[in-house]
Structures are given as structure tokens and as C-alpha cells.
């Protein structure tokens, strides 16, 4: 950043104004000029003062008759009242402030006899028309003559993101104060000049003037267009560099070998692979055979069958003499992965034992809460190479875990893993392992490109044949008849030998926020429209178990409980009892959200469903409909019709297509939330770019950024771009990027 842009606002605008702006996260000149108007009001047309209508946005040319500041005894604070007239009708102007001093500036300008333009929305007070806090322009002070004043007044009025303490018009003035004296040299432009010229884009300084002080609508559009392109371009350059840096690393190629573990697994698979599984398997197999480390994102809706794709990749690496690590976001999922891998491999997982088949390997499970003996054994198997596959949670990433020869890391459900952890694994040893990241959270292509732009992506678009769609209904929580019917329905499933999940947002009734790994609280808080019913406690695992135990519809049904605070053994026991049908109804928090695979589960009841976000509910729903049995998902909700929460649930009921839902999710979220919650402050945030709407622009920027980085990888010829990229890639930013 240039010296001018780095200048503190305090030095330029004074302590009081700067203090207010700092509450909006704006502390330097650079911050302020990057604080773009949210929208523009069209200039008020010049109005005949005799015909003012309350509520109308107007601009009038008039002469000041009087202006005076007075204290308000009743309300505290001070006000300035002025009267302006066009010779016949008059209009009152009113300004309020905490202290009279603040109003002196207006009083000084609004001297009797002066002429000016006054803009605002017409209000009425005690039968008199008035403008409160009007914007105004005094001839002879703000403009040389009436002609110039008229010209000024015909401009669009920028409306800034503001606060009560700093209203938009004060921000506008502050912006103009800092922007006016800036020169091209003060405002380095991250866009390469050639690119700018080719596309006919204004410079950064020009663009800033266009958005802050536009002459007309086409001016601010031109400015915004350029700033939006800049965001896309800088972001894509950052990603292209990351990708280039990654490509410069070398990995050990792990070519496929016939007659090994992979072939043995394929021979044992109880089902034929889908076309998509074969196709993606081929892509990954080729990647593994390269000396460039694989960095691939595998997207597939819940139930698409990602695990078997991962298993086959791991088998190829083991056949080539390496090891594979499988990382899961929760202990429940890690344990399940270990269990199902051992099931799938059968005797192939008994390497080194009498029962072991030829070419067999071992699957070690390594989680944080493992007993000391088990942990020691798992660590030993990882270090010696006896375990071809090591399954674990974050504990796997700790420094103590040694691998004999780690060739592949599979990260399941990436959205729970930070980039630091991913990099920690990648930086081990002389050669980084190949990395396969799997996610069921459907990410629209455009977002994937923006957020995961440094990964290659594969999509498992086809679900295994014979799957039926999960039927989903929204059930109003206050309809007791429906609830009875819900539990009777659950009973029918259980009597038919199936399983039922009941999901609650909390563990205990008196808990302030969800205490386990579920995101429910975070989502609800983020979206802020679901907490209305504070009087009624949210459903908890404890209270729901009690309630269900007393329901005649469920008499005699054994129920299990599952949540993040259970000891690992108890979690395993609960999952096992549920899976084998001993306790066919499981009351759980969202710990079961990702990956849990019990094919006989055919019904899910989500209590207080309005507390959860779309993608989370979609994930949860993915726990049922995992076989050819028809399945049902009931979303019990207190959301009132017409609220966003209700709309989310309706969207879920309307479609099971994760990609459609992800788009809907983006649409329902407030604009800025698309790429994460931390959109508000920080000089390098995405401000104008929107992943869905701006897809073509992002595409274009990506191609241009790749070309620039290819020609000049260290950006030596583009220092201003380099600086902008560095701002993007500060550690906080990077973690945010990868969090998705």
C-alpha cells in the first residue's frame, strides 16, 4: 500500500470522525476509499416547494431564512432548525446531535440569505413540512454558482454501509475529503496496465472516483465493474500461484500394479462400480502415477459412494509400497471408516496374521481418546508400515505420528479441516503425499472455483443404481396430531426391521449452546432469524429421550443416545446397537451429520429443524435412503411461514438434489455470506464479487490470472499485483479461503 493510502484517518479527518469510522472497521485512507457505496439514490428532481408530498425524496433550490442551534430540554442533546424558502412556500430543515458543537458547522454554512440545494425525504412535524438531516449544497461555498450547484445535485447519491453513529452522508463527506487530493501515484493499481487497456477498464483511482462521486448511473456501473473484475483477478492470481507452488513439489509416483490389493478388493466388492466411480477412479489412478503431487477434490452427493473410490486409491498406493492415511472430521466417522474398511477388506485386512490373505495389509485406527495400549499399537503399525491404512481424526496430524512411507492422504468431508492441518500433513517427509479431499457438501461449480480454485475437481454425479429418493415433509411443531402420526410412523419402520434417527440441536435441555461438534448453533446464529422462540427450549437429546419413552406409539422400542460428549466406547456401543437393531431408534445430535452409514436406516426426524442450515440438513438427510428401501425425512419446525427458515425447509422438501439445494442456499443467504462469515471488515475482503452471479467473470479472470502467473511466476513485473495477492494470502485470509 502506498504511503497515502496507509495514512491513518485520524491524521486526515480528525479524531472524532476517525473514531466513528473506526467502529466500521475503517482506520486508514485506504480502508475508507475501499468502503464502497451499498447503492445509489437517484437524485431528487427539482421540486416546486408548494407541492411537496410527505415521503417523497426531493431536491429543492431555496434561500435560507434563518438557522439556529438550541438545546432540547426534553430529550437531551441539541438540534439545529433552519427555515428555507423559495419566496412563497417554506420548508424546515432539522439536524440532531448529542452536543450543540457538532451543529455549528451547519449553522455556519446555513447563513440567512444564502441560496442552496437541499436534498432529503420529506417528513412532517406539527403540520410543517421538513427535511431531517438533508444533504445540501450552498452556492458560493460548496459550488461556485447556481449552475454548478444544479450539476452537483443531478448526481446519484451514494448510500454507504453506515451505522447510527456515522450516518451515510457523513461517510460520503469523509470519502470525498480523502479521495479528492489523491493522485495516480498514490493509488497503486493491482491490474496490469496492458490488461486494463485491453479491456478498456479505468485505473483504480478512476474507478474509486466513479463509485464514490459518479456523474451518472453509467459512471458508477463502470467503476463497480472494474472493481469487481479486480477482485476476481487478484483472487484468481492468488490461487494460480498457490497451484503453481504446489506443482513445483515432487511426490513419489505410485503406479497401479495388477495382481495386488486393488485387484483383490475389486474381486471382493459386493456391487459393481457405477460408471462415475470407474471414471473418477481412472482419473485418480493416473494422478497417483505422477511425480507431481495429486491435489484433487472429489465431490459427490451424500450416498454417491465416495468411500469405495478412496479405498481403491489407497489400495493402489499400498500396492506400490506406500501407506495411506484417511482423515475423518469426527471420531464417530473415523471409527466407522475403520470398521467398514475392515469389513470390506475381510482377510485382506489381516496382514501379518495367520488369517491374513496374501498381499494383505492392516487398518489402524488412531483417534485422540484411544487407550494408551491401543494407541501405542496403532502408532507402531503406522511407523513400521505394517498398517497400510491409518484412519484417524485430527490426532493423526500431530507430530508424534510417524509413517514408514506416507503416499496418500484422503481427507473426508474437507469443510471441517483447516488448511493448516492439510499443509501440516503435506509438508511431512521429503516428498509430500498425494492428497484426495472428499466432500458431500455440494459446492456449486463457481464457488468451488473461487474457494477451492487450487484443487482439481472430480464429481461423482451418479448415485448407485436402485436408490429411491428420500421423501421429505415439513411438520409444524405445534400440531400434536401430526407429531403423534410421526411417532406412529417411526414405530411402523421399526416394526418392519428398520432404523430411525431422531436429531436434536442440543445435548441437555439447559445448555446455552450446542456443545458438540455440530454446526447447528453457528448456522442459526449466522442466519439470525430462528431464535424467536426463546421461550420454548430447544429439543435436547436428554429431554427427547424422556419424551419419547412416554409416547404410547413407541412403547417397548429400545432407544439409544448419541452426542459428542459421550466417551468413545459409548459412542461405538451406541452406533453398534443401532446398526445391528438392538436399539433401533437413535436420538442424536448432529454428530451423525456426516458419513455415518447404516443402510437399514429409513426414517429421520429432525427436531427444531429450523435451527439448521440447508446443507447441514441435506447432510443429515443423507443418513437415510442409503439402500433400495424407501425412506422418509420429517423436519419438525417452529418457523413461521414466510420466514427464511421456513423457505429453507420448503426447499429441502422440494428437492433432494444437493447441487440445486446449494444454489438455493446461496440465494437465501445474505449476499456477503457466500464465501464465509468474515466478509464485513478487512481490506482484502471480497466486496463486490458474488460467486454465483459473477461466474462468467470469475472464469475469465481465472484464465487471465493463469496466463500472468505462467509468464511471471514471482510477479516481478507486477509488484502492485504481488502486493495485492500478498494481502489476500495473509494467514487469516488463506484459512478462510479453504474453509469454504
Which stretches of the chain bind Mg ion, using CB under 5 A? 595
Pick the closer one to ligand ADP by CB: 312 or 690: 312
Task: Tell me the per-residue interface mask from 234 to 273 with ligand ADP, x by CB under 6 A, - otherwise.
Answer: -------------------------------------x-x
The one among 171, 440, 542, 617 contacting ligand ADP by CB under 6 A:
440
Cell of 607: 427436531
- In angstroms, how far is the first alpha carbon of the chain from the final one? 28
Cβ of 105: how many Cβ atoms within 10 Å?
11
414 binds ligand ADP (CB under 6 A): no
Cell of 108: 455556519
Pick the closer one to Mg ion by CB: 134 or 595: 595
The one among 120, 190, 214, 303 contacting ligand ADP by CB under 6 A:
303
Pick the closer one to Mg ion by CB: 37 or 595: 595
- Selection from Mg ion, ligand ADP, none that 486 binds (CB < 5 to 8 A by kind) is none
Minimum CB separation from Mg ion for residue 310, in Å?
Answer: 9
Look-up of cell digits 481490506: 683
439 binds ligand ADP (CB under 6 A): no
- Selection from ligand ADP, Mg ion, none that 308 binds (CB < 5 to 8 A by kind) is ligand ADP
Tell me which H or E stretch contains 620.
helix 614-621
Cell of 264: 483383490
Contact stretch for ligand ADP (CB under 6 A) within 137-145, 303-311, 363-371, 715-723: 303-311
Closest residue by Cα to residue 43 from 68, 20, 60, 22:
60
Separation of alpha carbons 479 and 178, rounded Å: 59
Spell out the alpha helix ranges (H) of 79-216.
Answer: 100-109, 146-153, 168-179, 193-199, 204-212
Minimum CB separation from ligand ADP for residue 253, in Å?
Answer: 26
Pick the closer one to Mg ion by CB: 594 or 688: 594
Minimum CB separation from Mg ion for residue 307, in Å?
Answer: 5
Minimum CB separation from Mg ion for residue 306, in Å?
Answer: 5
Judged by DSSP in three states, 702 sits in helix
Pick the closer one to ligand ADP by CB: 187 or 603: 603
Separation of alpha carbons 156 and 59, rounded Å: 12
599 binds ligand ADP (CB under 6 A): yes
One-letter-per-residue 3-state SS of 408-420:
EEEEECHHHCCHH
Pick the closer one to ligand ADP by CB: 156 or 300: 300
Query: Which residue of the chain is nearest ligand ADP when measured via CB?
Result: 305
Kindly tell me the burial class for residue 512, based on how many C-beta atoms sit within 10 Å of its own C-beta (0-12, 13-18, 19 or more): exposed
305 binds ligand ADP (CB under 6 A): yes
Pick the closer one to ligand ADP by CB: 83 or 652: 652
Give, as one character, the DSSP assignment of residue 29: H
Contact stretch for ligand ADP (CB under 6 A) within 5-13, 97-105, 229-237, 304-312: 304-312
Minimum CB separation from Mg ion for residue 589, in Å?
Answer: 19
The one among 302, 345, 666, 691 contacting ligand ADP by CB under 6 A:
302
Separation of alpha carbons 191 and 229, rounded Å: 9
List, in sequence order, every residue forming a beta bridge with 300; answer none if it has no partner: 460
Task: Tell me the per-residue interface mask from 453 to 472 with ligand ADP, x by CB under 6 A, - otherwise.
Answer: -----------x--------
277 binds ligand ADP (CB under 6 A): yes
Pick the closer one to ligand ADP by CB: 96 or 659: 659
The one among 109, 306, 648, 683 contacting ligand ADP by CB under 6 A:
306
Percent helix, strand and coil across the chain, each rounded to 5?
Answer: 45, 20, 40
Listing from the earlier edge strand, what are the strands of the sheet with 323-327?
362-366, 387-392, 323-327, 406-412, 434-439, 295-300, 456-460
Separation of alpha carbons 375 and 387, rounded Å: 13
**How many residues make up the chain in this entry?**
740
Residue 135 near residue 156, CB atoms below 8 Å: no
Number of residues that bind ligand ADP (CB under 6 A): 18
- Selection from Mg ion, ligand ADP, none that 597 binds (CB < 5 to 8 A by kind) is ligand ADP
Query: Which residue of the chain is nearest Mg ion when measured via CB?
Result: 595
Closest residue by Cα to residue 100 from 77, 74, 67, 130:
77
Helix axes 731-739, 419-426, angle to 10 degrees: 100
279 binds ligand ADP (CB under 6 A): no
- Selection from ligand ADP, Mg ion, none that 300 binds (CB < 5 to 8 A by kind) is ligand ADP
Cell of 214: 459518479
Separation of alpha carbons 692 and 179, rounded Å: 32
Pick the closer one to ligand ADP by CB: 393 or 684: 393
The one among 428, 498, 626, 638 contacting ligand ADP by CB under 6 A:
626
Pick the closer one to ligand ADP by CB: 306 or 428: 306
Give, as one character, the DSSP assignment of residue 350: B
- Selection from ligand ADP, Mg ion, none that 302 binds (CB < 5 to 8 A by kind) is ligand ADP
442 binds ligand ADP (CB under 6 A): no
Kindly tell me the burial class for residue 473, based on how many C-beta atoms sit within 10 Å of its own C-beta (0-12, 13-18, 19 or more): middle
Residues found near ligand ADP in the complex (CB under 6 A): 271, 273-274, 277, 300, 302-308, 440, 464, 595, 597, 599, 626
Amino acid at each position: 500500500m502506498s504511503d497515502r493510502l496507509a495514512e491513518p484517518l485520524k491524521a486526515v479527518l480528525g479524531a472524532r470522525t476517525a473514531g466513528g469510522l473506526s467502529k466500521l472497521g475503517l482506520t486508514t485512507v485506504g480502508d475508507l476509499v475501499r468502503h464502497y457505496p451499498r447503492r445509489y439514490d437517484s437524485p431528487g428532481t427539482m421540486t416546486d416547494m408548494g407541492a411537496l408530498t410527505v415521503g417523497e425524496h426531493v431536491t429543492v433550490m431555496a434561500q435560507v431564512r434563518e438557522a439556529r442551534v438550541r438545546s432540547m430540554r426534553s430529550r437531551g442533546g441539541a438540534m439545529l432548525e433552519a427555515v428555507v424558502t423559495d419566496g412563497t412556500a417554506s420548508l424546515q430543515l432539522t439536524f440532531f446531535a448529542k452536543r450543540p458543537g457538532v451543529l455549528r458547522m451547519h449553522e455556519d454554512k446555513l447563513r440567512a440569505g444564502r441560496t442552496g440545494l437541499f436534498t432529503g425525504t420529506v417528513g412532517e412535524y406539527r403540520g410543517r413540512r421538513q427535511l431531517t438531516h438533508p444533504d445540501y449544497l450552498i452556492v458560493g461555498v460548496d459550488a461556485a454558482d447556481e449552475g454548478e450547484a444544479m450539476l452537483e445535485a443531478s448526481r446519484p447519491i451514494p448510500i454507504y454501509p453506515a451505522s447510527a453513529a456515522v450516518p451515510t452522508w457523513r461517510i460520503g463527506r469523509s470519502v470525498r475529503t480523502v479521495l479528492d487530493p489523491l493522485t495516480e501515484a498514490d493509488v497503486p493499481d493491482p491490474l496490469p496496465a496492458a490488461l486494463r487497456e485491453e479491456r478498456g477498464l479505468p485505473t483504480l483511482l478512476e474507478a474509486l472516483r466513479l463509485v464514490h462521486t459518479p456523474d451518472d448511473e453509467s459512471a458508477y456501473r463502470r467503476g463497480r465493474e472494474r472493481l469487481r473484475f479486480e477482485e476476481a483477478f487478484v483472487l484468481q492470481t492468488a490461487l494460480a500461484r498457490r497451484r503453481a507452488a504446489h506443482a513445483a513439489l515432487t511426490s513419489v509416483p505410485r503406479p497401479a500394479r495388477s495382481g495386488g490389493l486393488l485387484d483383490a478388493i475389486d474381486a471382493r466388492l459386493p456391487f459393481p462400480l457405477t460408471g462415475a466411480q470407474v471414471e473418477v477412479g481412472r482419473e485418480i489412478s493416473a494422478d497417483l502415477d505422477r511425480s507431481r503431487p495429486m491435489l484433487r477434490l472429489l465431490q459427490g452427493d451424500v450416498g454417491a459412494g465416495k468411500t469405495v473410490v478412496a479405498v481403491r486409491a489407497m489400495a493402489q498406493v499400498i500396492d506400490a509400497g506406500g501407506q495411506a492415511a484417511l482423515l475423518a472430521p469426527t471420531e464417530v466417522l473415523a471409527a466407522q471408516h475403520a470398521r467398514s474398511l475392515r469389513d470390506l477388506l475381510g482377510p485382506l485386512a489381516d496382514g501379518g496374521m495367520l488369517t491374513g490373505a496374501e498381499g494383505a495389509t492392516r487398518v489402524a485406527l488412531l483417534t485422540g481418546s484411544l487407550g494408551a495400549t491401543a494407541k501405542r499399537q496403532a502408532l507402531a503399525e503406522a511407523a513400521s508400515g505394517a498398517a497400510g491404512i491409518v484412519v484417524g481424526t485430527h490426532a493423526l496430524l500431530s507430530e508424534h505420528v510417524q509413517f514408514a512411507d506416507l503416499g496418500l492422504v484422503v481427507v473426508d468431508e474437507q469443510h471441517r479441516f483447516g488448511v493448516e492441518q492439510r499443509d501440516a500433513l503435506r509438508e511431512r517427509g521429503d516428498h509430500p503425499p498425494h492428497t484426495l479431499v472428499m466432500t458431500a457438501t455440494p459446492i456449486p461449480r463457481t464457488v468451488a472455483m473461487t474457494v477451492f480454485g487450487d484443487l482439481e475437481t472430480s464429481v461423482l454425479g451418479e448415485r448407485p443404481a436402485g436408490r429411491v429418493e428420500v421423501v421429505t415433509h415439513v411438520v409444524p411443531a405445534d400440531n400434536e396430531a401430526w407429531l403423534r402420526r410421526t411417532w406412529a410412523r417411526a414405530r411402523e419402520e421399526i416394526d418392519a426391521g428398520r432404523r430411525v434417527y431422531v436429531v436434536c440441536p442440543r445435548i441437555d435441555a439447559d445448555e446455552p449452546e450446542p456443545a458438540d461438534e455440530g454446526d447447528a448453533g453457528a448456522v442459526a446464529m449466522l442466519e439470525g432469524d430462528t431464535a424467536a422462540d426463546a421461550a420454548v427450549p430447544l429439543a435436547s437429546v436428554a429431554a427427547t429421550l424422556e419424551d419419547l419413552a412416554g409416547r404410547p406409539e413407541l412403547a417397548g422400542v429400545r432407544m439409544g443416545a448419541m452426542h459428542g460428549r459421550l466417551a468413545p466406547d459409548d459412542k461405538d456401543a451406541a452406533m453398534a446397537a443401532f446398526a445391528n437393531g438392538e436399539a433401533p431408534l437413535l436420538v442424536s445430535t448432529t454428530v451423525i451429520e456426516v458419513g455415518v452409514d447404516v443402510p437399514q436406516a429409513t426414517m429421520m426426524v429432525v427436531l427444531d429443524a429450523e435451527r439448521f442450515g440447508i446443507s447441514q440438513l441435506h447432510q443429515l438427510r443423507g443418513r437415510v435412503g442409503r439402500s433400495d428401501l424407501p425412506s422418509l425425512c420429517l423436519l419438525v419446525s417452529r418457523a413461521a411461514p414466510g420466514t427464511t427458515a421456513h423457505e429453507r425447509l420448503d426447499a429441502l422438501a422440494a428437492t433432494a438434489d444437493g447441487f440445486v439445494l446449494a444454489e438455493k442456499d446461496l440465494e437465501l443467504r445474505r449476499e456477503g455470506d457466500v464465501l464465509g462469515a468474515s466478509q464485513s471488515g478487512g481490506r482484502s475482503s471480497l466486496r463486490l464479487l458474488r460467486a454465483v452471479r459473477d461466474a462468467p467473470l470469475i472464469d475469465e479472470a481465472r484464465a487471465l490470472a493463469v496466463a500472468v502467473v505462467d509468464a511471471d511466476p514471482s510477479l516481478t513485473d507486477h509488484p502492485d499485483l504481488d502486493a495485492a495477492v500478498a494481502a489476500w494470502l495473509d494467514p487469516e485470509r488463506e484459512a478462510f479461503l479453504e474453509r469454504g
